[in-house]
Structure 1
Amino acid sequence: MPLDEDVVAAIYRDHGAALKRFVLSASRDPQLADDVVQETVLRVWQQAPQITGSLRSYLFRTARNIMIDNYRKAQRRPQEAGDREVPATTDGAGAAGRIDDLLNKVLMEEALLRLSAEHRDVLVALHYRRCTVQEAAAQLKIPSGTVKSRAFYAVRALRTILDEMGVQR
């Protein structure tokens, strides 16, 4: 299939910066991040007709898989002079776990941004800042009953958004 430069350019334009930030937060190597982003966009472009759900979620999962594959390949090849040493305590499962945690964080941030500001504020206060209902009510300057109601509807909305994004629970 010939490369559709407009589609690839649109993927880079709409998702490239966020994708690179995600890869950089896992690797800290700008050249490697560029390579992973490029490979991710090309793989997703090849699979585009088969993608269901959120393209962004699919991009992040694809980048995650590429990073894990790259890590595993690096572990199988002999250490070359000039290569940075990988700590002996680092293993494939640990790297995959860290990348999964990072991916979950990125996807949750994206999902939270899709919520209304009122719902997001309540969830952030209750679940991230670990406030009690009364503390959240005081911080947000709303009644505690409103905090409870918004939390209920925010969680429902968040589940729907995560389902639309293709995030498996």
Structure 2
Amino acid sequence: MPMDEDAVAAIYRDHGAALRRFARGAVESDEQAEDIVQEAIIRVWRLAPEPTAGLRAYLYRTVRNLIVDQHRARARRPQAVASIENGFDAAIVGERVDDLLDRVVMEEALMRLTREHRQALVAVHYRRLTVAEAAEELGVPAGTVKSRCFYALKALRTALDELGVER
């Protein structure tokens, strides 16, 4: 099937910057991130069913899979060479890649929240402040902190769905 350059360009225009930020958090260089994004867009264009509301999630899953494939390919190098050169084994690398990708996905999802929702969520759920402590720190009533956390969690679930995270 011939490549529809306009369709590929539209996907790149609409999603390229966000996908690059996502990929850049897990690879060593801007060039690697760009290569992964371009490959993902072409794969999605070739293999995806008709464009749907789930296109963005499909793109993120494809980028994530390409990053994992890239790290696995490096880990398949002969063990002696990897151990001598890098001082670690493939199992540890695989765990670190998964942890890194989880962190990158969560950071991207958190950045999609409003500043107020993100602040409340981080204070209560990550920094483990009580609602009262968070309210004092943020300068808002305790009920507002609870409300912001509730809506932040809903928005976070939506953002993670858009990023292709499966429950």
Bin of the TM-score, shorter chain as denominator length: 0.7 to 0.9
In structure 2, what is the Cα distance between the partners aligned to 1:33 and 1:161? 21
Offset of residue 67 of structure 1: 2.4
1:144 is matched with which residue: 142, 145, 148?
Answer: 142
CA RMSD between the two structures: 3.1
TM-score by length of 1: 0.73
Shift in CA distance, 104/14, structure 1 to aligned 2, threshold 3 Å: farther
Partner of 1:103: 101
What TM-score comes out, normalization by structure 2 length?
0.73
Unaligned runs of 5+ in 1: 80-84
- TM-fit CA distance, 1:90: 3.7
8 A Cα contact 1:119 1:154, kept in partner? yes
What is the number of residues matched between the two proteins? 164
- C-alpha separation between the residues in 2 aligned to 1:128 and 1:75? 32
Query: What are the residue-to-residue correspondences of 1:24-103 with 2, within 5 Å?
Result: 24-49=24-49, 54-76=54-76, 87-91=86-90, 93-103=91-101
**Equivalent position SS for 2:74:** helix
Identical pairs, percent:
58
Structure 2, unaligned stretches of length 5 or more?
Answer: none
Note if contact 2:8-2:45 (Cα within 8 Å) is conserved in structure 1.
yes
Aligned to 1:21: 21
Q: Helix, strand or coil: the match of 2:19? A: helix
Looking at structure 2, the residues matched to 17 and 164 of structure 1 have their Cα atoms a distance apart, in angstroms, of: 15
TM-aligned CA deviation for residue 166 of structure 1 = 4.0
**Counterparts in 2 of 1:31 and 1:90: CA distance versus 1, 3 Å:** farther
